[in-house]
Amino acid sequence: AADFKAAEPRGIMPRVMRLLFSYLEHARESYEIKLKVQYVEVYKDAIFDLLDPDGGLQKLDIHERINGEIFVEGCCEEELTDPWQVAELLERGNQNRTVAAHDMNHESSRSDAILTL
């Protein structure tokens, strides 16, 4: 979370979120805009909701709508109003990620995580 609030943030996520919210701030002068986020984990060919209050233990399915939109059925969505929320959601979601120790890292992630805005 500290990287998101730093005067000169390091890392791609804090920089992208600041830039995105800067654009949204100007666009909201003319439009009503809602930004929602999902955070999922792909582990052993299964999808889990990292923002699920129950810990994201239930496997979810991915689908495609007639218009071509891809979505994860049953995945939590949270509305964002500022870039600092992204850091909080990432921290919360990362606590639900699958990790295991190996020779090089005691808490290595054993999965891929996808943040969707």
pLDDT tens per residue, range 31-74: 998 999 999 999 888 999 999 988 778 899 999 999 999 999 99
Full-model pTM: 0.77
Which of the two residues, 5 and 88, has the higher pLDDT score? Answer: 88
Each residue of 63-102: pLDDT tens digit?
999 999 999 999 999 998 888 888 889 889 988 887 655 5
Report how far residue 84's alpha carbon sits from residue 9's, in angstroms, rounded to the nearest whole number: 12
- Phi/psi at 49 (nearest 5 deg)? -85, 110
Element (H, E) at 5: helix 2-5
- The C-alpha angle with vertex 75 and arms to 69 and 78, in degrees rounded to 5, equals 95
Instruction: Check residue 86 and give its pLDDT.
Output: 87
